[in-house]
Amino acid sequence: MPNQASLVLAADHSRALASFYGSLLGCHPQAGFSASHWRLAWPGGGLLDIYEPSRARPLPRQVGRLSLCLKRDRTDGQPLAQLQAWIDTALAAGASLDHPPRLENFGAEAWLLDPEGNRLLLLVR
């Protein structure tokens, strides 16, 4: 069997957080190894595994330098408008805006917090 890679995200409410990311990625979460484990296909390969940690080994929420980054290619000449529409989808699904959208030399970006407070970067290249 070839090596595989995935991103792992601990959650208080794994099903709800999987639905949130599914709405942004345009895919449906799949049941994982237990009722508290969900998987989503990660663009470009691999998986995003979302799970609820064992009560015997809880993982406290923490602010760090690692964030998920969801990327889209620009479809027109208005990357900020395209980004704003994506932000609106995220906000409607339970995210909150951490830093407003801005245009950089590599594209339009905005930093959000997912429904459980994890940092999330939305980038339109």
Render each residue's pLDDT in the chain as its tens digit; 125 residues: 566 678 889 899 999 999 999 999 999 999 999 999 999 998 888 899 999 887 776 667 776 667 899 999 988 889 999 999 999 999 999 999 999 999 998 899 999 999 999 999 999 99
**Beta pairing partners, 69:** 121
**DSSP letter at 42?**
P
Give the other-Cβ count within 10 Å of 41's Cβ. Answer: 16
Give the residue extent of every domain in the chain.
6-51, 68-124
Q: Could you tell me which CATH number the domain at 6-51 has?
A: 3.30.720.120
pTM above 0.85, yes or no: no
Q: Of the CATH numbers 3.40.50.20, 3.40.50.1400, 3.10.180.10, 3.40.50.150, which one belongs to the domain with range 68-124?
A: 3.10.180.10
